């Protein structure tokens, strides 16, 4: 009998929004499987843990794991009122690079349920953060040559205009009354004071979805409902975005190329600061090097909090699926729950954790128990595929 080669399992989940980050999820999966698998198989298992981020929740934890960032904290505005809170960022002194997770600045996880009304929410906190970094650099307190911003999991939908308010943007109506820089007022604005702030560092934006700013697949009409908007409010924000772009004299060709990620935040960063845009698939491939040594994986486990139409816009879990589907590698997706029809992909299994509990809310609170139950199913698949591999070697 030939000595069996290691059975390689790639564990590469995305974060489960408002529940657990991808680093935590990957550790849970490995721990559960290691406990469940029989010793004779376990001794031949080789785990490769590569938690991923598409720019949304958990971006900083993934950057810490992969790049060894140091955490710093800045005091900034909340998206919903004048209160302040301390926001973490990641910093690498050697490369003079700073990492920002938009979900930690403007995310749903920091916006209480009663304030989840995107018509009244502002991205000013990100402006506060960038302004403080700008001041720290220009005064010599810290050195920053590049800022990488992960976009995703935001609760705001304001085209990044609230961010620009921190730098001096002003809106006025037809009667020359000053307006708050909120989506509620975008359609009324007839005068915009646009500040020019040459930043002393480059901005790179990681996009969690590949969707346009405007239209039925855009920031307002597709994504704002999950942030708390009604159907009518979504239409009003779509109208407001279009109006503001026209007032800013952005030509139609440019408008059509703008990204809808982060409630239009990516578009704002690109328009006002000339930020470079990088899709999550490129970040996961080039920066996280997910598949640099995983092309010979025998089984892949990934995951996402929710599988739906948005997931298929090349978000985290499906970046992993698309990478390995053509190689005929068995793939399992763990998710909290799913909506709509999944793409027909051979050797793809989906396990919904909410099926094990009375509600989605309970599955979130008991994520560790859900992972444990799911891993019982996965362990049986591992035994099956491992046995099949060994049989094929004899």
For 101-113, what is each residue's pLDDT tens digit?
999 999 998 999 9
Mean pLDDT of 315-325: 84
Percent of the chain scoring above 90 in pLDDT? 77
2 pLDDT higher than 60: no
**Cross-strand partners of 147:** 98, 203
**Residue 326 binned pLDDT confidence (cut-offs 50, 70, 90):** confident
Provide the terminal-to-terminal Cα distance of the chain, rounded to the nearest Å. Answer: 6
Secondary structure of residue 148 in the 3-state scheme:
strand
Residue with tokens 């040459």: 198
Predicted confidence (pLDDT) at residue 122 exceeds the cutoff of 50: yes
H or E element that contains 179: strand 178-179
Would you place residue 309 in the very low, low, confident or very high pLDDT band (cuts 50, 70, 90)?
Answer: low
In the prediction, which pLDDT does 311 show? 62
C-alpha dihedral (229, 233, 235, 238), degrees to nearest 10: -80
pLDDT at 1 over 50: no
pLDDT digits (tens, 9 = 90+) for 346-391: 889 999 999 999 988 898 899 999 999 999 999 999 999 998 887 7
| Residues 394, 385: Cα–Cα separation, whole Å | 15
Write the pLDDT tens digit of every residue in 230-261.
Answer: 999 999 999 999 999 999 999 999 999 999 99
What are the residues facing 20 on neighbouring strands?
Answer: 16
In SS3 terms, 273-291 reads as HCCEEEEHHHHHHHHCCCC
Q: Which residues of 177-200 are buried (b: 16+ CB within 10 A; e: fewer)?
A: eebebbbbbbeebeebeeeeeebe
Q: Which tens digits make up the pLDDT trace of 264-293?
A: 999 999 999 999 999 998 999 899 987 655
DSSP state for residue 366 in the 8-state scheme? T
325 pLDDT band (50/70/90 cuts)? confident
Domains of the chain as residue ranges with CATH = 7-52+290-393 (3.40.50.10350), 59-281 (3.90.1510.10)
**Mean pLDDT, the chain, as a whole number?**
92
Predicted confidence at residue 105, as pLDDT, reads: 98
Residue 312 has pLDDT above 80, yes or no: no
Backbone angles phi, psi at 287, to 5 degrees: -90, -45
Rg (CA), the chain: 22
Report which of residues 338 and 330 the model is more confident about: 330
- 94 CB-contact burial (10 Å; exposed 0-12 / middle 13-18 / buried 19+): exposed
Cβ distance 124 to 163 under 8 Å?
Answer: yes
Which residues pair with residue 99 across a beta bridge?
90, 148
């Amino acid at each position: 009998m030939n000595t069996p080669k290691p059975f390689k399992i790639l564990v590469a989940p995305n974060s489960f929004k408002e529940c657990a980050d991808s680093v935590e999820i990957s550790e849970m999966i490995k721990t559960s499987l290691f406990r469940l698998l029989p010793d004779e198989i376990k001794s031949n298992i080789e785990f490769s843990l590569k938690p991923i981020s598409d720019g949304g929740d958990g971006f900083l934890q993934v950057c810490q794991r992969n790049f060894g960032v140091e955490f710093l904290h800045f005091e900034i505005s909340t998206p919903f009122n004048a209160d302040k809170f301390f926001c973490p960022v990641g910093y690498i002194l050697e490369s003079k690079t700073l990492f920002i997770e938009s979900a930690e600045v403007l995310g749903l996880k920091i916006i209480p349920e009663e304030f989840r009304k995107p018509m009244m929410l502002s991205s000013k906190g990100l402006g506060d953060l960038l302004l403080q970094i700008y001041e720290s650099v220009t005064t010599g307190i810290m050195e920053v040559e590049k800022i990488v911003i992960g976009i995703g999991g935001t609760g705001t939908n304001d085209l990044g205009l609230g961010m620009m308010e921190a730098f001096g943007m002003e809106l006025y109506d037809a009667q020359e009354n000053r307006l708050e820089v909120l989506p509620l007022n975008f359609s009324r604005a007839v005068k915009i004071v646009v500040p020019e702030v040459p930043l002393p560092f480059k901005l790179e934006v990681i996009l969690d979805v590949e969707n346009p700013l405007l239209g039925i697949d855009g920031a307002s009409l597709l994504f704002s409902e999950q942030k708390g908007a009604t159907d009518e409010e979504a239409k009003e924000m779509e109208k407001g975005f279009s109006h503001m772009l026209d007032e800013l004299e952005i030509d139609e060709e440019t408008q059509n190329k703008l990204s809808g990620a982060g409630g239009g935040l990516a578009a704002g960063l690109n328009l006002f600061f000339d930020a470079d845009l990088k899709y999550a698939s490129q970040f996961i491939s080039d920066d996280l090097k997910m598949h640099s040594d995983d092309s010979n994986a025998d089984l892949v486990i990934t995951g996402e909090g929710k599988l739906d139409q948005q997931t298929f816009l090349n978000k985290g879990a499906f970046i992993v699926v698309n990478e390995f589907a053509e190689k005929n590698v068995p793939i399992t997706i763990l998710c909290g729950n799913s909506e709509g029809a999944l793409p027909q992909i051979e050797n793809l299994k989906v396990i919904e954790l909410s099926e094990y509990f009375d509600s989605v809310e309970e599955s979130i609170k008991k994520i560790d128990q859900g992972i444990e139950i799911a891993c019982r199913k996965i362990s049986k698949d591992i035994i099956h595929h491992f046995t099949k591999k060994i049989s094929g070697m004899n």
